[in-house]
Chain A
Amino acid sequence: MPQLIPFYFINQLSFSFLTLLALIYIISKYFLPLFTFQQVIRMYITKLNNK
């Protein structure tokens, strides 16, 4: 079974972990706050409108 060939185990593991870490960093610092910011702005404008 080709998944059990041991030559590149560490390679596979480190690349997937590094990709996931870089992804978590980029998403949490640059992209996720934009979503929350947009919801906050919409809530703010709705409240201003309801006054």
Chain B
Amino acid sequence: MSFLGLRKWPTPVAKPLWPFIAAGTITYFLVAKAQDMGVKSEAYAKDPRNPYAAQIAKESHH
């Protein structure tokens, strides 16, 4: 994609970055949990801007 006429050099990308990618996945899971809790909470479940309104309505009917 970025081969706009430039040469590609063999810089190591995974060797310095593996702790950051692991930490990124940990942060991702924590934030997903926080988002789930926030979206289903009282204050935001019935908000018209909520893109998960259909899912919550279906779950509350079960």
Flag A29-43 by CB within 8 Å of B: 1 or 0 each. Answer: 111111000000000
Interface positions of B (Cβ within 8 A of A): 2, 6-9, 11, 13, 17, 24, 27-28, 31-32, 34-35, 37-39, 44, 47, 49-52
Interface positions of A (Cβ within 8 A of B): 5-7, 9-10, 13-14, 17, 24-26, 28-34
- List 13 contacting pairs A-B, 8 Å CB cutoff, sorted by A: A6-B34, A7-B52, A9-B38, A10-B28, A13-B27, A14-B28, A17-B28, A26-B2, A28-B11, A29-B9, A30-B7, A33-B9, A34-B6
In the complex formed, the residue of B with least CB distance to A33 is B9
**Chain A residues with CB under 8 A of B49:** 5, 7
| B8-A29 in contact (CB<8A) | yes
